């Protein structure tokens, strides 16, 4: 796993989670996000500055990222990485992928944030949601990793992925907390709501993920696969890649992301598979 604009992380696979929480107190992201919220939050980012490149609060976050504390992600057990030469692909599952998408104007609808005051309701039947433009996700630190996608059918493929950490996305958006006070992902992950729900834009494929797996450093919102933009069959323009879970949870074409205290419905769980689907 490499992150652009910073040295490769040294990762320690065997430290327990308590240690991880302790270490993560040296957090860096929240400072950048606090800077952003102080001047009106990410909705402002989406609305105002994206055409001119990276808005300044994100640029500030990148700066802090460069000074990332060694061991920031210690304690998370990482999925193995593979040589790039092994990267290949296979297509499986097309539920929720009908039709084309507007890749440039694409937005992800986000629900369950601490501050929903900028949420908009599209129509009478839909729930108010904050629209985060895909350009804001592309402006987050880009992570590249070569990991295995394992299908419950019994096959797997090694794929080179590029995208933003769901963790960084969450830090940018500010999820709702149990205490209803401002979220602190690094220092108080236990105060976050326990689940994340993701759905395709048409709502026909949907997954639920436990929050700690969602915040895992290899859980990415990907826009590139094997060095090329995602194709429709692989979930263009944005898909979830979560190597600590089976393929079923790696939702293609993300239409919405919801932070929630209720265990979300899950497409393959409803068809008899394990809800957790962890490796």
The residues of the shown chain that bind ligand MTE, judged by CB under 6 A, are 90-97, 149, 151, 200, 205, 234, 247-248, 250-253
Report if residue 247 touches Mo ion, rule: CB under 5 A: yes
d(CA 254, CA 265): 15
Least distance (Å) between residue 249 CB and ligand MTE: 8
Contact between residue 201 and residue 253 where contact means Cβ atoms under 8 Å apart: yes
Q: How far is the CB of 150 from Mo ion (least distance, A)?
A: 8
Question: Which is nearer to Mo ion, 116 or 151 (by Cβ)?
Answer: 151
Q: Which of ligand MTE, Mo ion, none does residue 21 bind (CB under 5 to 8 Å by kind)?
A: none
Residue closer to ligand MTE by CB (options 25, 90) is 90
For residue 87, cis peptide bond before it (omega within 30 degrees of 0): no
C-alpha of 234 from chain center: 16
Structure tokens at 16: 């327990």
- Strand 130-133 and strand 107-111: pairing? antiparallel
Q: In this chain, which of 151, 182, 193, 212 binds Mo ion, going by CB under 5 A?
A: 151
**Which CB, 64 or 151, lies closer to Mo ion?**
151
Quote the least distance from Cβ 91 to ligand MTE, whole Å: 4
Q: Is 89 left (phi over 0), alpha (psi -120 to 50) or beta?
A: beta
Closest separation in Å from C-beta 7 to ligand MTE: 30
Interface size with Mo ion, residues (CB under 5 A):
2
Q: Report the distance separating Cα 234 and Cα 139, nearest Å.
A: 21
Cα(14)–Cα(73) distance, rounded to whole angstroms? 11
- 157-196 residues near Mo ion, rule: CB under 5 A: none
| Partner whose footprint covers residue 90, from ligand MTE, Mo ion, none (CB < 5 to 8 Å by kind) | ligand MTE
Task: In whole angstroms, give the CA distance from residue 198 to residue 203.
Answer: 9
Q: Which stretches of the chain bind Mo ion, using CB under 5 A?
A: 151, 247
């Amino acid at each position: 796993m490499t992150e652009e604009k910073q040295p490769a992380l040294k990762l320690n696979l065997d430290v327990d989670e308590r240690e991880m929480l302790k270490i993560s107190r040296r957090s860096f992201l929240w400072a950048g996000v606090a800077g952003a919220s102080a001047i009106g939050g990410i909705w402002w980012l989406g609305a105002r500055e994206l055409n001119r490149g990276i808005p300044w609060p994100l640029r500030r976050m990148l700066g802090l990222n460069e000074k990332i504390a060694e061991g920031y992600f210690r304690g998370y057990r990482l999925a193995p990485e593979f040589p790039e030469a092994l990267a290949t692909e296979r297509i499986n599952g097309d539920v929720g992928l009908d039709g084309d998408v507007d890749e440039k104007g694409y937005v992800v609808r986000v629900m369950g944030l601490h501050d929903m005051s900028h949420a908009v309701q599209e129509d009478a039947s839909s729930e108010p949601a904050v629209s985060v433009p895909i350009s804001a996700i592309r402006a987050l630190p880009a992570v590249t990793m070569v990991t295995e996608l394992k299908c419950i059918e019994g096959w797997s493929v090694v794929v080179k992925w590029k995208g933003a950490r769901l963790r960084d996305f969450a830090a940018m958006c500010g999820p709702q907390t149990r205490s209803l006070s401002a979220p602190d992902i690094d220092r108080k992950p236990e105060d976050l709501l326990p689940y994340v729900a993701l759905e395709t834009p048409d709502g026909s494929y949907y997954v639920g993920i436990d929050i700690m797996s969602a915040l895992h450093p290899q859980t990415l919102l990907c826009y590139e696969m094997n060095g090329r933009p995602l194709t429709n069959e692989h979930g263009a323009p944005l898909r979830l890649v979560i190597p600590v879970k089976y393929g079923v949870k790696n939702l293609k074409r993300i239409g919405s992301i919801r932070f929630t205290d209720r265990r979300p419905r899950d497409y393959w769980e409803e068809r008899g598979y394990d809800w957790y689907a962890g490796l």
